[in-house]
Amino acid sequence: MLSAARLQARKRLAARSYATSASLFPGQPQSPSVKTSSVPGPAGIAASERIGKFQDPRAHALVVDYKQSKGNYIVDADGNELLDVFAQIASIAVGYNNPQLIELAKTDAFATAAMARPALGSFPGTDWAGIIETGLLKVKPSGLDQLTTMQCGSSANEGAMKAAFLAYSNRRRGGKEFTTEELESTMDNAAPGTPALSVLSLKGGFHGRMLGSLSTTRSKAIHKIDVPAFDWPAAPFPELKYPLDTFAAENKATEEASLKAVEDTIVAWKNKAPVAALIVEPIQSEGGDRHASPEFFRKLQQVLKKHDVFFIVDEVQTGFGATGTFWAHEKWNLPEPADFVTFSKKAQASGFYHKISTRPKAAYQQYNTWLGDPIRALQAREMIRIIEEKDLVAHTQRVGGYVYESLEALQKEKVAEGKLINLRGKGEGTYIAFDLPTSAQRDAFVKAMKLEGVNVGGCGNQSVRLRPMLIFEQVHADIFLAATKKVLGSL
């Protein structure tokens, strides 16, 4: 018989090997398999051309056989099996064809919800409260017990902006009724009913593609050019230098400069278009995986509070566990809750959490036909269960640490010297990024990685961002690291 101490040791060992072998998703491929001499191969190129007859195909990376894709592995039209470290732009949490999710999809409740999509604001289902209480409310950010569901990331962010505008105006009006002048002027998009208010965003931020959210997006010109925008302000995001400890003084200075610019902007716009809200991502993703310190965000909240500006934390890309905490902004240890936290992507459901104090004054102010989607709420609930059962948030922090340390070691090797630079994302789970010296080299890296059987995404001008699923394990990390080393050597 084993002693208690030995049993404990065995359990520890089991727990460790659980984290280091591909046991979180049985049945997925053991390794990538590339069959064609280019990726995409001929079948992928043909499939893309066929779509191109009716839809813009120029951003196609791969045409995917989703039926064959499994776990961390995506299978393309040519039958190539690639380790997917991009995961539908950070939107798949627990693996392709996850059996628990497929089982959910086959239930009567899911089928009815899919085919009788309700107008949730007026005709919610008898099961709606239960789905939310046992799902999305279980993971509500601290202090935010209200949830407004939406259709996508853009509408989640714009919904939060609208909520901020409504609350800002209601506060300015002292909670009084709308005046006749306000009710009439708003029909002409004119003041006072339609107020000149603004949302402040930070340069490099990405908050969506609709006309309001796009006005706060400051990622790349190609996202914005030729589309009218609100004349809203932007302030610089800190420009941290890596490694962080080498540049501690510079980094503190850039954060202070950013905070000062935020406050100066708020003050400067008070008589033009007062800033009702600031929106910021915990990690600027599309803009190049740019980080700032928890202290920066705590100070940012103080500046906003001082000027009565609402704080919108855009967790569309960072939420749902992949940064090693369920919400990335948990790591800031804010002394009090943010006002709005938005989500989409990995959650599959979309929307924003808020406080009861920002519920609009009147019905129908925050409203649309669908106001979300019950099947996405069901899916989010099931994923939350899986994340809890398998302890995937802690797992992601562990694996992310392994990837970070491995890349840190790699960048000191000769093969990566001067090529793998600005490594960042320490302590942010698997949300790790690095730069290559030029945009062209980054593009070449992403392309060559596919031939090595790894689907990875770029961001910013010259960055590579890792966005694996929560079921990404050490064995996958090793495959990714070996491919990275090989491709860097060939560049």
Residues 183, 192: Cα–Cα separation, whole Å: 9
CB of 23 to its own copies, least distance (A): 21
Q: What is the C-alpha R_g of the chain?
A: 23
Q: Which of 194, 302, 461, 490 binds its own copies (CB under 8 A)?
A: 194
Nearest CA-CA partner of 201 in 223, 179, 216: 216
Please confirm whether the linkage preceding 243 is cis (ω < 30° from 0): yes
Which residues are CB-neighbours of 32 under 8 A, at least 6 positions away? 73, 80, 81, 82, 83, 452, 453, 454, 479
Q: Is 18 exposed, middle or buried (0-12, 13-18, 19+ CB in 10 A)?
A: middle
Would you give the binding string for its own copies spanning residues 72-111, x where CB under 8 A is met?
--x--x----------xx-xx---xxx--xx-xxx-xxxx
CB of 310 to its own copies, least distance (A): 13
Please state, in angstroms and as integers, the Cα–Cα distance from residue 205 to each residue in 170, 177, 215, 236, 352, following that order: 28, 36, 11, 10, 18
Cα 171 from Cα 165, distance rounded (Å): 10
Work out how close the CB of 450 gets to its own copies at its nearest, in angstroms, rounded to a whole number: 12
The answer to the question of residue 318 lying near its own copies (CB under 8 A) is no
**127 part of the active site:** no
Between 358 and 484, name the residue whose CB sits nearer to its own copies.
Answer: 358
Please report, as residue ranges, which positions from 342 to 401 form the binding site for its own copies (by CB under 8 A): 344-345, 348, 359-360, 362-370, 375, 379
Task: Examine the residue annotation and report whether 220 is marked as an active-site residue of this protein.
Answer: no
The only residue of 22, 24, 83, 132 in contact with its own copies, by rule CB under 8 A: 132
Instruction: In whole angstroms, give the CA distance from residue 78 to residue 379.
Output: 30
Q: Of residues 18, 45, 223, 330, which one binds its own copies by CB under 8 A?
A: 223
Pairing of strands 463-465, 457-459: antiparallel
Which of 289, 314, 339, 373 is an active site residue? 314
Q: Does 268 bind its own copies (CB under 8 A)?
A: no
Measured CA to CA in angstroms, residue 443 lies from 55, 224, 377, 438 at distances of: 24, 22, 36, 9
Kindly state the number of chain residues that form the binding site for its own copies, as judged by CB under 8 A.
128
Between CA 399 and CA 427 the distance in angstroms is 10
Q: Does 153 bind its own copies (CB under 8 A)?
A: yes
Catalytic residue (one of 206, 237, 296, 445): 206
Q: Is 212 in the site for its own copies (CB under 8 A)?
A: yes
Q: Is 352 designated active site?
A: no
Residue 206: active-site member: yes
The interface with its own copies within residues 44-63 (CB under 8 A) comprises 47-48, 50-51, 53-56, 58-63
- Residue 440 as a binder of its own copies (CB under 8 A): the answer is no
Catalytically active residues, by annotation? 206, 314, 345, 369
